[in-house]
Chains A and B, each alone.
Chain A
Amino acid sequence: MKYPGNIIGPCFETGDLVTFIFDGAEFTVRLPIVPNNKHNQDTVTCNRDFRGIDTRDWDINNQERPCIQLATQRWSFEDANSLDNVALCKLYLSVVEVTPAARKKNILLEVKTFKEIMLNWIAYATEDHEEQYLKDSNWPASANRFHEKVIEKEHLNWLRYELCYLEGTMPRPFAVAPINSRFVMMTRIEIDSLHYAGRQNPYSKELLRKFEFELFDDFLSHFDLRYSPETIAIIQSLKS
């Protein structure tokens, strides 16, 4: 991906390949090489094998479901002309476990139910922003399915949404993908404009927001999620 203007920084093409193994699936991502800097973060979970894993000591998400951060990264993009840090980029990649009942029903592996459960999960934590939707019908909300976009895949499609995490901030890209009947992958990227006192950032907020979405799509394009023949058989049976 070519970055806009003179922006330079870590890129996914040259990132490290990291593979996580699940029951019936193998998930590979490219994580960018984050430079060593005071404010940067580059954390990848030590555990790469999640087959038959016990999730009782995991963190819990806002719906009290066990979850783990596969990777959390934070770095600054620079302007090649001035070498100023112009944008702060935060990358989050995690998996969340569904309830035993949902697992039994294979709801993550069925296109329709996957879409509905994800919409419900997202709407659960975004009630506060419905007010914004009443003022602006283009604002992502349950009514417009948070600008849901289907990312076509061979067996099961992934979903991309636009979500607002904090009041007063613009919606950010967020994506989900079903890993197996037990886990769903969630990921997001956030880009914020950086400023030094007395210096103007040459990149507008609009440009950086566009860059945020393009970078996120680029990140997703480097994902490789492969299902085992058994998982594919379940997906096919649920389709019919």
Chain B
Amino acid sequence: MDLPSSYYTFQKSLDQFIYFSPLTMGGSSGRSVKISKALFLPFFCAVDPSAHDGQAIIRQIENLRTTCTIARGETGSNYTNNPKQSSQHTTRLGKLNDGFSQVLIVKNLHVYYRVSQELGDKSPSIYITQVRAVNDGAGSSPGLYEPKISRDGAITPIKMNQSSIDGKKVYINGASQSVEGAMQQAQYATSDKNTVLFYSPACVSDDLGVWQSKTLSYATKNTINELVNVFKESQNRSVSWYVEGEGTALLSEALKRIPGNLNKHQFRFVNPIGNTSKVLQILTTKKAVLEGDFFSYHHNTAALSSLSKQKNELMSAMGKLPAGKNYDKITRGYIMKSIEGLALVGSRGVPKQDKLNSANQTFVQVLRKAGVYR
């Protein structure tokens, strides 16, 4: 994604900015607020306009129209063939200008913006140039948890011993605020109340999810190590893995560090987010079991966009899997058809951004319409 990180690139991409919502089109309602069309996909994944948190984020961004920051006169602005726009100069200037970007932090979203008056603006406007999601979590430690029925019948996740997962279903969660929430997802995804959970904290989704941080936090490294240890301890045991959402990216990181084969381990993916094709390739080389209905999807925006981005690679990786037996051949055919269908749906929902135009619709209006693909 080519986002305007410096003033030079920002100016070059001005045609990519559209009004954020009908309330932020300038005039008597305050400053106009514009957002880069390239941010449609990350925004679509992080903000659900039908949810309470999504509404709070949209209202706060709309409130940026009351920002009273004075626009700076940018060097080189409105000039063509400016001698000061040599690549060396613009790089240095870009670094300097980055420091002037401002950030609005609301809920799970960091919204980076600058106040600038550009060609066609009647007054200084807000330009949203980048967004980043940061998940919230209750701070539970990563690792294996088993469900324990308490005195009132509710299921309480209890930290467990690594060696006791032989013959069990183990679920790796995606983005989850709490262990209880992840345990509930585990039981739903596997239809089994005894499923063991490998809990991956919310910060792992920040680092490895659709936003993919370049540097991994200590907590993420710790979670990867925990998962590697679980694999090493249970390498010769029979384990059935269910991997959901960002858990796929976590598994991908862990697999890089596991020597030898995983021929006693079976894998199933639910709404995978991350480089699924790469994971399938590694699992194939490690002789892991990918049988039956090993891929499923249930209304997950981020997974849908992730799939549509890597459809061809995924189909190619599926083609390289060892030949299936009996019903596996039929099931695999269905899986490939469903991936193709999902990628098509995803690609329909996603590139609406190309048709985004301030003249007809605002960013939020298209976001709401794209909600049917959630």
Contacts and interface: CB of A to CB of B under 8 A. Distances in A.
Contact of A192 (B50, B138, B203, B217): B138
A72 B134 contact: no
B53 A196 contact: no
A37 B134 contact: no
Interface in A48-95: 59-63, 67-69, 72, 74, 76, 82-85, 88, 90, 92, 94
A35 B60 contact: no
A182 interface: no
Contacts of A69: 153-154
Contacts, number: 105
B372 interface: no
A230 to B, nearest CB: 27
22 contacts: A37-B51, A39-B178, A41-B181, A41-B184, A59-B153, A62-B148, A67-B153, A74-B180, A84-B107, A88-B178, A94-B153, A122-B151, A124-B151, A125-B151, A188-B152, A192-B178, A193-B138, A194-B138, A196-B135, A196-B136, A197-B206, A199-B134
Given A194-B177, A195-B139, A197-B203, A94 B60 contact: no
B85 to A, nearest CB: 35
Nearest to A59: B153
B184 A36 contact: no
A166 B60 CA distance: 38
B151 A85 contact: no
Contacts of B271: none
A196 B134 contact: yes
A133 interface: no
Nearest to A169: B140
B149, B154, B176: most-surrounded residue (chain A CB, <10 A):
B154
Interface in A187-217: 187-188, 192-199
A59 B134 contact: no
Nearest to B59: A83
Interface of B: 48, 50-53, 56, 60, 105-108, 134-139, 148-154, 156, 158-159, 176-178, 180-181, 184, 203, 206, 217
Contacts of A167: 159
A72 B217 CA distance: 33
Interface of A: 35-39, 41, 59-63, 67-69, 72, 74, 76, 82-85, 88, 90, 92, 94, 96, 121-122, 124-125, 165-167, 186-188, 192-199
Given A166-B156, A194-B138, A83 B149 contact: no
Contacts of B139: 192-193, 195
B176 A39 contact: yes
Given A83-B106, A94-B153, A197-B217, 18 more contacts: A37-B53, A41-B181, A59-B153, A60-B149, A62-B149, A67-B153, A82-B106, A83-B56, A83-B60, A85-B107, A94-B152, A122-B151, A166-B159, A188-B152, A196-B108, A196-B135, A197-B206, A199-B105
A72 B138 contact: no
A67 B176 contact: no
Contacts of A37: 51-53
A57 to B, nearest CB: 13
A59 B149 contact: yes
A96 B151 CA distance: 9
A212 B178 CA distance: 17
B371 to A, nearest CB: 13
B25 to A, nearest CB: 24
B358 to A, nearest CB: 28
A210 to B, nearest CB: 18
B152 A96 contact: yes
A35 B134 CA distance: 20
A61 B150 CA distance: 6
A120 to B, nearest CB: 11
